């Protein structure tokens, strides 16, 4: 087992591979970490593993497949695998899903029934069972999906600025640095963000940090660490930071509005599941503006801030793909949440 993979075996799951029960495997992979869980068809967790990020968009296709393969083998541990469901960030276009399927086709656990899709489906299934529903993830980046009972869906390319995307930890961090740099040299309005940015990175000065990024001594992806700095500055009354928080809330609302409009669900009672590290920070200004905007846009919609790991949803989807029933699904929801050490129940608030 590689040093980057954390292991958790559920009680009762330590049995030899010989004569072992068949399992399904669910995988949820993002930019910073990947979770995999194996379950028996009656909903019992036999193993959970956590490894590094597996987004093919960030890590590359080969590196992503290597992480996923190691995790699937680790949780299955030689047991018969009857179904694998993979939900990964960075799988936003049909061609990306097709390429991923080709890349795993030679692996022993892969089969024509293997499900491969975007990690938003795991978040959505973890947060709600409703046939009409939306999910928005705001973590390193931001993306959304909407589904309707008749099978229609609303999706987005999520390719960054070239497809109209902004936000998440990286977007907030990049803009925080932009405003701080302009304040430092007199081109922009004053902001306290500079001090927080320098402190966050332990840099000698803002100029030193900018040089480090320019010369490649720091990776641009590190800017995603600045989201808490933006929230804290906004709470202290910094106007620039406050505007960034409001912009992030409005971007999330834009995704929601687009999904509801495209699926003709504006006048329905629809759960809107929010997840990702930026949302889970619980910033009152961010969440308050989202709630107010949603209430004005779609009074019947209900916000659900999902605090648990999306692997819960990946596990439920894998069980459903494997033919498990309602009793097994109910059992699995609690067992998977317990295995990853998080709450099984999403916190809901009226929209």
- Structure confidence by residue, pLDDT tens digits, 103-125: 999 999 999 999 999 999 999 99
Question: Which percentage of the chain shows pLDDT scores above 90?
Answer: 81
Q: Return the half-sphere exposure (C-beta side, CA atoms, 13 A cut-off) of residue 52.
A: 12
* Residue 345 pLDDT: 35
Pull the structure tokens for residue 52: 């590094």
Instruction: Provide the whole-model pTM.
Output: 0.84
For residues 217-227, average pLDDT:
94
Pull the structure tokens for residue 183: 């304040």
Question: What is the rounded (10 degree) CA torsion for 321, 325, 326, 331?
Answer: -90
For residues 186-215, average pLDDT:
97
Instruction: Give the pLDDT band (50/70/90) at residue 195.
Output: very high
Question: Which percentage of the chain shows pLDDT scores above 70?
Answer: 91
Instruction: Give the pLDDT band (50/70/90) at residue 12.
Output: very low
Instruction: Give the pLDDT band (50/70/90) at residue 18.
Output: low
pLDDT beyond 70 at 149? yes
* Residue 347 pLDDT: 32
Going edge to edge, which strands form the sheet with 33-40? Answer: 6-8, 45-52, 33-40, 23-29, 81-88, 115-118
pLDDT beyond 70 at 348? no
**Domains of the chain as residue ranges with CATH:** 6-119+310-345 (3.30.420.40), 127-307 (3.30.420.40)
């Amino acid at each position: 087992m590689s040093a980057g993979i954390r292991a958790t075996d559920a009680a009762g799951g330590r049995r030899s591979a010989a004569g072992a029960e068949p399992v399904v495997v669910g995988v949820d992979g993002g930019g910073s970490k990947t979770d995999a869980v194996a379950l028996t068809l009656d909903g019992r967790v036999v193993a959970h593993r956590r490894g590094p990020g597996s987004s093919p968009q960030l890590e590359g296709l080969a590196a992503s497949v290597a992480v996923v393969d190691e995790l699937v083998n680790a949780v299955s541990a030689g047991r018969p695998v009857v179904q694998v469901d993979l939900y990964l960030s960075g799988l936003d276009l049909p061609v990306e899903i097709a390429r991923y399927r080709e890349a795993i086709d030679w692996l022993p656990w892969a089969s024509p029934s293997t499900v491969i899709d975007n990690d938003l489906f795991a978040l959505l299934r973890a947060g709600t069972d409703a046939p009409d529903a939306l999910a928005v993830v705001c973590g390193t980046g931001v993306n959304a999906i909407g589904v309707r009972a008749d099978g229609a869906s609303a999706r987005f390319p999520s390719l960054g600025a070239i497809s109209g995307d902004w936000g998440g930890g990286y977007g907030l961090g990049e803009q925080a640095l932009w405003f701080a740099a302009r304040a430092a040299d007199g081109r922009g309005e004053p902001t306290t963000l500079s001090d927080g940015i320098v402190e966050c990175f332990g840099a000698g000065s803002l100029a030193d940090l900018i040089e480090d990024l320019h010369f490649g001594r720091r990776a641009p992806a590190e800017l995603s660490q600045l989201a808490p700095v933006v929230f804290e500055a906004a709470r202290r009354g910094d106007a620039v930071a406050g505007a960034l928080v409001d912009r992030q809330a409005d971007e999330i609302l834009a995704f929601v509005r687009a999904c509801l409009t495209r699926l003709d669900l504006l006048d329905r009672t629809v759960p809107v599941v929010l997840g990702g590290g930026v949302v889970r920070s619980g910033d009152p200004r961010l969440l308050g503006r989202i709630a107010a905007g949603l209430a004005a846009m779609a009074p019947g919609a209900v916000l659900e801030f999902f605090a648990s790991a999306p692997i819960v949803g990946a596990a439920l989807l894998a069980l459903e793909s494997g033919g498990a029933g309602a009793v097994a699904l109910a059992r699995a929801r609690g067992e998977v949440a317990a295995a990853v050490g998080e709450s099984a129940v999403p916190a809901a608030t009226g929209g």
